[in-house]
Amino acid sequence: MSTAIITHNDLDGVFSAAVYIALKGIDEPFIVVCSPKEVAKCIEHAINKGFKHIAVMDLGLNEAQFEYLKKILERAHDVEIEWFDHHRWKFVGSSIDPVTMLKQLGVELHLRSDTCATGVVYDVYRDLDPGNIEGFVNAVCAVDCWRFDNAYAPYLMRWFEMVARRNGYSKEKLTSLIKEIATMMRRGVDVSSFVRDIEPYVIEYVDQELDVLRNDRIEKNLRVFEVEGVKFCVVDSMPGTINLSALATYVASRWQCNVVAVVKGEDAKVSLRSLSAYSKCRLNELAALLSKGMGGGHPQAAGLTLRLSAFERIVVRLIQLFGKRWVSKIVARKFVATVLENIDAVRKSCRELT
């Protein structure tokens, strides 16, 4: 039976798809690299292509996507969907229960919040592991869940960032990468051997990363403010070649931030991070509340898309002519204003402070 695989474009998404392909022995997978805001459209695309078996991984579901997807599934016939995820599946301020309703529509959901999507896939099919795949799973989850309790995790994080950036996060290149990783796993390669092979990429990346950290570009782009006893640090993600999590870790440690907001600029996206030592908030709740449901993730690592007004969207498009850095500055100011306008969101997601 042919399978369409729909997955996210980050490390966890790439490896969850590769692990699924390797464990199930799929020879010619049809892969769709997808963003969370496109998940319903990606599923519709696979159904229109004639696929009767679809596997979705590392992609959550917001309320707007749910309504669209519900209509698609109500029209579809004899389509089997497996869905593996580890994000928040609860709509803020809504009585809709997406888990119950999707199950009623025949979707086979595998949801866990204590691991990464790669871990969810592996847990379902772990009996098919020839013995070399679990090591990759542990390393990927250590990165994606922001634990970094695995020796190979920093290598995978930096290697993926280097490869993805070089290829401009191209969906075609990521699709090829998924297939290459799956093939490598099926050949029996283990994570230690893989890390030895990618070491040149990691060395090159670390040199660039250190160059960013040892100058003052980060500090020049940093905004620090406090709300309800929570110290926010807002930083531009474009000061140089550095992984988002590595940048957030450095900022959180140096300025002792409770919440680090890394502004990506494009599409008004913001990533939130906190270190265990300074963690005060459940960032998945904070992201969802600040974005009115257009955000979520994990307690210490989450993301959101800010809602820009029509005027702000026009200004952003015009200002892109002068470079992404200017766009990031506008989004950073918007994030600060959004937090200050939604102090209740801080109180609710940081309940232990009140």
**β strands within the chain, DSSP E:** 4-7, 30-33, 53-57, 80-85, 107-111, 223-227, 230-236, 259-263, 269-273, 295-297, 301-305
- Which of these, 116, 204, 100, lies nearest to 153 by C-alpha position? 116
* pLDDT in the model for residue 218: 85
Tokens 């992984």 label which residue? 243
Q: What pLDDT, on a 0 to 100 scale, did the predictor assign at position 193?
A: 97
Task: Say what the pLDDT of residue 168 is.
Answer: 75
What does the pLDDT read at residue 146? 79
In the block, tokens 């490869």 appear at 163
Query: What CATH number belongs to 4-204?
Result: 3.90.1640
Distance in angstroms (rounded) separating the CA atoms of residues 228 and 221: 23
What's the whole-model pTM score? Answer: 0.82
> In the numeric block, which tokens belong to residue 156?
């995978």
- β-bridge pairing 223-227 and 230-236: antiparallel
User: How does DSSP assign 172-227, residue by residue?
Assistant: HHHHHHHHHHHHHHHTT--HHHHHHHHHHHHHHHHHHHHHHHTSSHHHHT-EEEEE
- Residue 318 CA to residue 147 CA, distance in Å, equals 40
User: Does the fold of domain 217-353 match that of domain 4-204?
Assistant: no
**Whole-number Å distance between alpha carbons of 32 and 39:** 10
Tens digits of pLDDT across the chain (354 residues): 589 999 999 999 999 999 999 999 999 899 999 988 899 999 999 999 999 999 999 998 877 788 889 999 988 888 999 999 998 787 666 677 888 889 999 999 999 988 999 999 999 999 999 999 999 999 999 998 878 899 999 999 999 988 887 777 789 999 999 999 999 999 999 999 999 999 998 998 888 888 888 777 788 889 999 999 999 999 987 656 677 888 898 999 999 999 999 987 666 789 999 988 888 898 988 998 888 766 777 788 888 888 766 666 666 665 556 555 566 777 888 899 999 999 999 998 986 544
State the pLDDT at residue 231: 95
**Fold held by 217-353:** Diaminopimelate Epimerase; Chain A, domain 1 (3.10.310)
Q: Name all contacts of 139-142 with Cβ < 8 Å and 24+ positions apart.
A: 139/191, 140/11, 140/12, 140/15, 140/16, 140/116, 141/12, 141/115, 141/116
- Find, among 60, 47, 183, 55, the residue nearest to 124 by Cα: 55
- Predicted confidence at residue 339, as pLDDT, reads 94
Per-residue model confidence (pLDDT) at position 322: 57
pLDDT at 325: 55
* The amino acid at 303: G
**Which pLDDT score is estimated for 97?**
85
Looking at residue 354, its pLDDT comes to: 43
What does the domain layout of the chain look like in residue ranges? 4-204, 217-353
